[in-house]
């Protein structure tokens, strides 16, 4: 087990006796690892099933402030309760299991998937504003967002528990707020619920080939190999981020289009290319996890190339992809849609220079909040263009 806590060394311990020492910074190791706090007195160890939480009663305040992982705010601070519900950084530590389960599904990540369904329905050219079609679309959004994205996020948190113990130790799993069996149960319930709903949508749409179900199965498998060993695609910055980007753009679009029409090869190719922009968006999320990724040997792009190079790769992937799509629309006679897309790309580039390129770690959330609405509107613009 790996741990990175200043002032702590791992020492062999068995049946009341110690043998060997492994410093976290240098030295050698022999024996079975346990935790020995040194030199801070009155250590407090909290064990919860397989999770370990370490806290020192007294320590060097200046050292901890400069090197310790980000702390969760007090429960009654500002927007901490909202952060809890959305599953984003800065959430208050909770004991309410329903809130903890919701946090694991990261509702803030549902929005792109829900929007992807809208784009797919628009691209099909067969969506009508009837009660039946709207209900179908909402069901597909639940499939893509709360169920299968919730499954993906919970699964990812489970396999990232050691990294989160370094980057965000207050998260539900590394903090011990939820047990192993409860997490695994949630993963299975969300997965089976999503696959079941996908099958029902195929029956509702009268599909002879269960295309929505196949898309759901493929997306679920991709989510698993992205997070879980032995493949764990996220260990490779390029492959992992492209897999993540394609999951957020291709899969919900395909599901929405297959539900209301026919998923054509040209749309599949176009959305896969659009996923390069999704790769850039996925890289943004890696900047906040550099310390933990480096400690666990994960080759995210900020770790592999450094912050300065990675930030340019990130914005290049986002901008070049969208500009290429605009060029494609112009070349296929959809000039007005191409001009509209260019109008949506321009503020993204301005915001990149204003925030992200200045400091991608400090401004990652602010940049995403301000720039991504223009990107998702560009997706809809492209969907409407391809529907004609």
User: 122-162 pLDDT, tens per residue?
Assistant: 999 999 999 999 999 999 999 999 999 999 999 999 999 98
Query: From CA 178, how far away is CA 25, in angstroms rounded?
Result: 31
3-state SS, the chain, equals CCCCCCCEEEEEEECCEEEEEECCCCCCCCCCEEEEECCCCCEEEEEECCEEEEEECCCCHHHHHHHCCCCCCCCCCCCHHHHHHHCCCCCCCCCCHHHHHHHHHCHHHHHHHHHHHHHHHHHHCCCCCCHHHHHHHHHHHHHHHHHHHHHHHHHHHHHCHHHHHHHCCCCHHHHCCCCHHHHHHHHHHHHHHHHHHHHHHHHHHCCCCCHHHHHHHHHHHHHHHHHCCCCCHHHEHHHHHHHHHHHHHHHHHHHHHHHHCCCCHHHHHHHHHHHHHHHHHHHHHHHHHHHHHHHCCCECHHHHHCHHHHHHHHHHHHHHHHHHHHHHHHHCCCHHHHHHHHHHHHHHHHHHHHHHCCCCCCCHHHHHHHHHHHHHHHHHHHHHHHCC
Burial class for 303, CB neighbours closer than 10 Å (0-12, 13-18, 19+): buried
- Res. 225 pLDDT band, cuts 50 70 90: very high
* pLDDT value of position 298: 78
The token pair at 288 is: 């906040």
CA distances from 31 to 54, 56, 79, 268 (A): 21, 24, 46, 54
Q: Is the predicted pLDDT of residue 93 greater than 70, yes or no? A: no
The token pair at 71 is: 């702390």
Least confident of 75-89, 310-324, 357-371: 75-89
User: 354-387 pLDDT, tens per residue?
Assistant: 999 999 999 998 999 899 899 999 999 999 999 8
C-alpha of 171 from chain center:
14
Averaging pLDDT over each range in 22-36, 56-70, 203-217, 259-273, which range is the top one?
203-217
Nearest Cα residue to 234 out of 303, 312, 316: 303
| Residues above pLDDT 90, as percent of the chain | 54
CA atoms within a 13 Å half-sphere pointing along the CA-CB vector of 341: 26
For residues 263 and 55, the model is more confident at 263
For residues 84 and 154, the model is more confident at 154
Query: From CA 163, how far away is CA 155, in angstroms rounded?
Result: 14
268-295 average pLDDT score: 88
* pLDDT value of position 81: 58
Nearest Cα residue to 372 out of 308, 278, 266, 304: 278
User: β-strands 43-48, 17-22: how paired?
Assistant: unpaired
Average pLDDT over all residues of the chain: 81
Query: From CA 274, how far away is CA 321, in angstroms rounded?
Result: 6
The token pair at 324 is: 């290429």
Q: Is the predicted pLDDT of residue 171 greater than 90, yes or no? A: no
pTM: 0.72
- Res. 328 pLDDT band, cuts 50 70 90: very high
């Amino acid at each position: 087990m790996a741990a990175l806590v200043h002032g702590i060394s791992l020492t062999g311990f068995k049946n009341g006796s110690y043998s060997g020492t492994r410093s976290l910074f240098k030295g050698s190791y022999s024996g079975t690892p346990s935790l020995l706090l040194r030199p801070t007195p009155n250590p407090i160890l909290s064990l919860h099933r397989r999770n370990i939480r370490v806290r020192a009663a007294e320590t060097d305040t200046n050292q901890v402030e400069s090197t310790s992982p980000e702390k969760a705010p007090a429960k009654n601070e500002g927007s901490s309760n909202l952060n809890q519900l959305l599953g984003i950084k800065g959430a208050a530590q909770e004991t309410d299991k329903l809130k903890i389960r919701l946090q694991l599904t990261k509702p803030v990540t549902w929005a792109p998937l829900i929007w992807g369904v809208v784009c797919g329905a628009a691209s099909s050219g067969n969506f009508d504003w009837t009660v039946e079609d709207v209900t179908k679309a909402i069901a597909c959004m639940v499939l893509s967002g709360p169920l299968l994205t919730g499954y993906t996020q919970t699964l990812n948190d489970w396999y990232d528990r050691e990294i989160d113990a370094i980057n965000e130790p207050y998260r539900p799993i590394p903090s011990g707020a939820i047990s192993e069996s409860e997490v695994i149960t949630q993963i299975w319930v969300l997965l089976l619920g999503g696959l079941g709903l996908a099958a029902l949508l195929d029956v509702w749409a009268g599909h002879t080939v269960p295309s929505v179900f196949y898309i759901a199965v493929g997306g679920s498998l991709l989510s698993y190999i992205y997070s879980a060993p032995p493949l764990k695609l996220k260990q490779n910055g390029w492959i992992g981020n492209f897999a993540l980007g394609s999951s957020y753009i291709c899969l919900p679009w395909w599901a929405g289009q297959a539900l209301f029409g026919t998923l054509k090869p040209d749309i599949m190719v176009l959305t896969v290319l659009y996923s390069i922009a999704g790769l850039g968006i996925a890289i943004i999320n890696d900047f906040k996890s550099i310390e933990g990724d480096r400690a666990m040997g994960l080759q995210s792009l900020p770790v592999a190339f450094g912050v300065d190079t990675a930030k340019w790769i990130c914005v290049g992937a986002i901008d070049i992809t969208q500009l290429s799509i605009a060029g494609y629309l112009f070349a296929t006679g959809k000039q007005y849609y191409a001009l509209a897309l260019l109008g949506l790309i321009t503020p993204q580039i301005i915001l990149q220079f204003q925030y992200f390129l200045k400091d991608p770690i400090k401004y990652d959330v602010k940049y995403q909040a301000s720039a991504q609405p223009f990107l998702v509107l560009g997706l809809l613009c492209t969907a409407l263009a391809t529907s004609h």
